[in-house]
Structure 1
Amino acid sequence: MNENTTQLHPAFLTRMKEMLGNEYPAFLSSFSAPRTYGLRINTSKITCEDFENLSPFPTRQIPWIKNGYFYDEDIRPSRCPYYQAGLYYLQEPSAMTPASRIPIEPGDRVLDLCAAPGGKATAAGAALQGQGLLVANDISTSRARALLRNLELFGIPNVFVANETPAKLTKAFPEFFDKIILDAPCSGEGMFRKEEALAKDWTPEKSMELSEIQKELILQAADMLRPGGLMLYSTCTFAPAEDEQTVSWLLKNRPDMELAEMEDYEGFSHGVPEWGNGNPELTKCIRIFPHKMNGEGHFLALFRKKGQAIKESSRPHTKPDKNAFPLIEEFLNEIGLKTLCGQPFDWERVEIRGDKAYYLPPVAHNFRGITFLRNGLYLGDLKKNRFEPSQPLALAIRKDEAEAVISLSASDERITRYLKGETLNIEPEEAAHKKGWHLLCADGYPIGFGKLVNQILKNKYPAGWRV
């Protein structure tokens, strides 16, 4: 036994030896291997090809994730301005797999039930391309705030961030969603190499306790799925009680749910029927083991609800405060914004709450009674005789959508100074207009707003976002 496995509980090791047989020594050896680091490209803002040409640090394609890349441990991608522009999300490579195996299409209604900190929700939001609805929920308020920040950084406009119990959501959204992601709370055995604290806290009883929670969650999630819809269940554990047995529980208690095939990869292992209730369909599940792949441990199951739903096309019906519209319109004209996330700006989606303006998702639904942090894109604040744009709006604007831009190289030290909250000197030829609101960009990709006065860009980057 090597030094990296001495903190592992004997009961865990015994069970893994029973599960893996002659593969067990290779599994143990994987704990001595260095952990892997990955980032996932935000394809709603940049193509993989453009990112590869732009990236100032070396990356390598993750073979089973189309928009995923490995990077080396000594690199700090979060310090690069492209991170502040929301061009990528830092995520462990195996953890990228679940969102990559559920085919989300623009216009879908998508739920991420246990969404914080946002790895799968940002992937789902990017796939929607600003169309349809993403409901991202977390029961913890502090975690839901971190989730909201990551979704705003990614520039996801059509989002409803909820801070609610799954039971309450089930009552509000019966058979409502086309796609659901349930990355369930689990014992985290697949992350022992990455997070030693998880290994130290593990007990043999933990899997059984969590399995009961997972069984409740998976039934609730299934009840929110529309006929013909897809649901992805995942954990980052090896425990059969939390994996094949939870899947077996759903199939037994919801006969209208069936397992579906997922895109395969040579390093994947498959579910083992004997670890569940013996159902041969369990081989459609995917297991990721660290001794077979360049990543941590994971489990995935993709379900389809039998039947077929007629897709509804709906849009929100707001009661707009039209007195506020001229101020917003004046600002949009000043920066030359006609489209948002590739879609024409739709005034019927603008809602005024107090002195704040929001851009609602293009889906009509009554969200009353649900605790939420955000419904739609926060556009900005209505001040006396003027409109003050928000940071989330800056990040929702795609490259080349606005005319009033100041685009500097990501290596320009002024970008770093802007992210620290400093004012900038701007040369006349660098700005689209002589004065007024401008969108500061790193190589064309928006980072935030500023106001140009006498060749000085007054910094509007919010204090809470500063580096």
Structure 2
Amino acid sequence: MNLPSAFEEKMKYLLGTEYDDYLNCFDEPRHYGLRINTAKISVEDFLKISPWPLEKVPWIHNGFYYDGENCQPAKHPYYYAGLYYLQEPSAMTPADRLPIEPGDRVLDVCAAPGGKATELGARLNGTGVLAANDLSTSRAKGLLKNIELMGIGNVLVLSEEPGKLIPYFTEYFDKILIDAPCSGEGMFRKDRKMIRAWEEHGPDYFSKIQRSIITQAAQMLRPGGMILYSTCTFSPEENEQTIEYLLKQRPDFDICEMEGYEGFSQGLPEMTDSGDERLRHTVRIFPHRMKGEGHFLALLRKKETGSLEEEMVAAPSTYPGAGSCRKSGAQTGARTGAGRKKLPEELTSFLADINRQFDPDRMDIRGDKVYYMPEGMPALNGIRFLRTGLFLGELKKKRFEPSQAFAMNLKKEEYARIIDLPVSDERVIKYLKGETLDVEDLVSAKEKGWYLVCVDGYPLGFGKLAGQVLKNKYLPGWRWQSV
């Protein structure tokens, strides 16, 4: 393994006598992880139907190892039903260690491709709001797909530089996750291309970005709220020193202890100027100590009173660049406009078949598209977003056509007309490929209309019955691709 000499010297200093053990782990196979989506299925129920043997990730309640050499969980109908997310085991840790409560307003600042955001959304279980942001619009599109695949509807998917979000969300969020862009040292074993990237942009480059993001995020957190900061690198400049920087800039923040695990390593205050002993409460994951790649985590809490935002408003000249942080305020009043109008008959007729209560004031109709918004949203004029709320579907010539996102958000028992196929039925794959289905054995030709197609009781998408043939409405961009 040809590692950069500067990196080797740093790791020798960090690890001491453990350095050889670290080097030896490069000869071991990588670990493949699967995280069960508890928004759709319990851990216990998934283990009963799992097509493969799974081994528990001991520090993640819904995380499991699988044999990546002999199993292909991304090519299974349960993947298309959103029952699990494929994720490196150490990368499961940040979202797991951020304590989410029902009704929380949660921000994932650098969310693509969605591994952490989808876990945060699952733990909200349809309450509160999940704002998932990524600066790259192309990456944000992949993020949106994964969020919809996992059935998460109480969502905003944004694509902005984090600083631009501050005027809209000042002190708005209860919890914030920052999985910061980093030099990727912890991924060298998993992806050798990361070494070349490290040589082009090392810790000094990324530490500046991280310090900007974490101080911007601090302004969007309510007093008493919590931030989980994480990287997949070992560099103290990007880890302990970034947290040290925040604590110096923001005395209203403190470091919290998080749920431990025997393989976790303490943070290293001796790698900072201040030597602040609170930094020992941060966590490092080394791949020679645990069955996962390298990671760093810090859990931070904002004090309940005397927040710096209050001081900024009182004396903005004291804090350069902060004078506009309350320009728009939180703007959390009820939405106005389409939600207060009488809903179209074709929409109310379709929703009558859904065993779920919908608040008309949260409906947002833009052109022919219908969205169901989370409660208490600020006005979002002027920022770039890919999705606000749950996309329910489209109004088309006096009829309503439900969306793929709506299908994934539903549970089998919430819809009146169901076609539930066992995973062994060849029609499951045909449906996922976009083919029409012969369903004469399942429904009467007289019972025409929209049907929710499920596999073993878990929704895949909609179809529309015409005679004994089900017209396929599975989203073309999601279709099963033959190898």
TM-score range, shorter-chain basis? over 0.9
User: Is residue 284 from structure 1 mapped to residue 281 from structure 2 by the alignment?
Assistant: yes
Match of 1:347 in 2: 360
1:413 to partner: Cα distance: 1.1
Q: TM-score, normalised by structure 2?
A: 0.91
Greater CA deviation, 430-439 or 276-285? 430-439
User: Is residue 62 from structure 1 mapped to residue 50 from structure 2 by the alignment?
Assistant: no
User: Is residue 332 from structure 1 mapped to residue 328 from structure 2 by the alignment?
Assistant: no
User: Is residue 140 from structure 1 mapped to residue 136 from structure 2 by the alignment?
Assistant: yes
* Aligned amino acid, residue 346 of structure 2: L
Listed one character per residue, the Cα deviations across residues 213-236 of structure 1 (whole Å, up to 9, x for unaligned) are: 111111001111100000000000
Question: Does the aligned pair in 2 maintain the 1:211–1:242 contact within 8 Å?
Answer: yes
SS of the aligned residue for 1:400 comes to helix
Match of 1:46 in 2: 41
* Aligned amino acid, residue 44 of structure 1: A
1:441 to partner: Cα distance: 0.2
SS of the aligned residue for 1:69 comes to strand
SS of the aligned residue for 1:247 comes to helix
- Between the aligned partners of 2:444 and 2:38, the Cα distance in structure 1 is 27
Question: Does the aligned pair in 2 maintain the 1:403–1:432 contact within 8 Å?
Answer: no
Question: Does the aligned pair in 1 maintain the 2:232–2:295 contact within 8 Å?
Answer: yes
Match of 1:217 in 2: 213
Match of 1:108 in 2: 104
1:321 to partner: Cα distance: 7.3
- Between the aligned partners of 1:432 and 1:166, the Cα distance in structure 2 is 53
Match of 1:293 in 2: 290
- Between the aligned partners of 1:37 and 1:303, the Cα distance in structure 2 is 29
SS of the aligned residue for 1:222 comes to helix
Match of 2:187 in 1: 191
- Between the aligned partners of 1:368 and 1:32, the Cα distance in structure 2 is 52
* Aligned amino acid, residue 327 of structure 1: E
Match of 1:71 in 2: 66
Matches within 5 A, 1:75-224: 75-203=71-199, 206-224=202-220
Question: Does the aligned pair in 2 maintain the 1:158–1:361 contact within 8 Å?
Answer: yes
Listed one character per residue, the Cα deviations across residues 385-411 of structure 1 (whole Å, up to 9, x for unaligned) are: 100111000001023211211100112
- Between the aligned partners of 1:398 and 1:61, the Cα distance in structure 2 is 27
In the superposition, relative to structure 1, how do residues 27 and 431 fare at CA in structure 2: closer, same or farther (>3 Å)? farther
- Between the aligned partners of 1:432 and 1:227, the Cα distance in structure 2 is 59
- Between the aligned partners of 1:297 and 1:318, the Cα distance in structure 2 is 48
Question: Does the aligned pair in 2 maintain the 1:404–1:433 contact within 8 Å?
Answer: no
User: Is residue 12 from structure 1 mapped to residue 7 from structure 2 by the alignment?
Assistant: yes
In the superposition, relative to structure 1, how do residues 314 and 44 fare at CA in structure 2: closer, same or farther (>3 Å)? farther
1:324 to partner: Cα distance: 4.6
Q: State the number of aligned residues.
A: 455
- Between the aligned partners of 2:201 and 2:410, the Cα distance in structure 1 is 48
In the superposition, relative to structure 1, how do residues 190 and 104 fare at CA in structure 2: closer, same or farther (>3 Å)? same
- Aligned sequence identity (%): 56
User: Is residue 378 from structure 1 mapped to residue 391 from structure 2 by the alignment?
Assistant: yes
* Aligned amino acid, residue 332 of structure 1: L
* Aligned amino acid, residue 227 of structure 2: M
- Between the aligned partners of 2:444 and 2:467, the Cα distance in structure 1 is 11
Question: Does the aligned pair in 1 maintain the 2:267–2:283 contact within 8 Å?
Answer: yes
Question: Does the aligned pair in 1 maintain the 2:253–2:301 contact within 8 Å?
Answer: yes
SS of the aligned residue for 1:144 comes to helix
- Between the aligned partners of 1:431 and 1:313, the Cα distance in structure 2 is 48
Q: Tell me which of 475, 479, 483 is aligned to 1:462.
A: 475
* Aligned amino acid, residue 216 of structure 1: S
- Between the aligned partners of 1:198 and 1:345, the Cα distance in structure 2 is 47
SS of the aligned residue for 2:53 comes to coil
- Between the aligned partners of 2:447 and 2:51, the Cα distance in structure 1 is 31
Q: Tell me which of 430, 436, 439 is aligned to 1:426.
A: 439
In the superposition, relative to structure 1, how do residues 47 and 31 fare at CA in structure 2: closer, same or farther (>3 Å)? same
1:330 to partner: Cα distance: 1.4
SS of the aligned residue for 1:203 comes to helix
Match of 2:328 in 1: none
- Between the aligned partners of 1:56 and 1:209, the Cα distance in structure 2 is 44
Q: Tell me which of 353, 356, 364 is aligned to 2:377.
A: 364
- Between the aligned partners of 1:432 and 1:88, the Cα distance in structure 2 is 35
User: Is residue 399 from structure 1 mapped to residue 412 from structure 2 by the alignment?
Assistant: yes
In the superposition, relative to structure 1, how do residues 174 and 65 fare at CA in structure 2: closer, same or farther (>3 Å)? same
- Between the aligned partners of 2:377 and 2:336, the Cα distance in structure 1 is 7
Listed one character per residue, the Cα deviations across residues 97-140 of structure 1 (whole Å, up to 9, x for unaligned) are: 00000111121011101111111111111111111111111111
* Aligned amino acid, residue 305 of structure 1: K
SS of the aligned residue for 2:376 comes to coil
1:328 to partner: Cα distance: 1.1
| RMSD over equivalenced CA pairs, Å | 1.9
- Between the aligned partners of 2:100 and 2:445, the Cα distance in structure 1 is 37
Listed one character per residue, the Cα deviations across residues 182-225 of structure 1 (whole Å, up to 9, x for unaligned) are: 00000000001111111123239610111011111110011111
Listed one character per residue, the Cα deviations across residues 2-21 of structure 1 (whole Å, up to 9, x for unaligned) are: xxx22x11111111011100
- Between the aligned partners of 2:184 and 2:355, the Cα distance in structure 1 is 46
* Aligned amino acid, residue 297 of structure 2: L
- Between the aligned partners of 2:54 and 2:445, the Cα distance in structure 1 is 34
1:349 to partner: Cα distance: 1.1
In the superposition, relative to structure 1, how do residues 162 and 417 fare at CA in structure 2: closer, same or farther (>3 Å)? same
1:363 to partner: Cα distance: 2.0
- Between the aligned partners of 1:69 and 1:402, the Cα distance in structure 2 is 31
Listed one character per residue, the Cα deviations across residues 46-65 of structure 1 (whole Å, up to 9, x for unaligned) are: 10001001111111111100
SS of the aligned residue for 2:263 comes to coil
- Between the aligned partners of 2:164 and 2:196, the Cα distance in structure 1 is 34
Moved over 6 A (4+): none
User: Is residue 441 from structure 1 mapped to residue 441 from structure 2 by the alignment?
Assistant: no
Question: Does the aligned pair in 1 maintain the 2:412–2:418 contact within 8 Å?
Answer: no
SS of the aligned residue for 1:202 comes to helix
- Between the aligned partners of 2:123 and 2:271, the Cα distance in structure 1 is 34
- Between the aligned partners of 2:204 and 2:88, the Cα distance in structure 1 is 26
1:455 to partner: Cα distance: 1.6
Show structure 1 runs of 5+ residues with no match: none
SS of the aligned residue for 1:211 comes to helix
- Between the aligned partners of 1:447 and 1:308, the Cα distance in structure 2 is 47
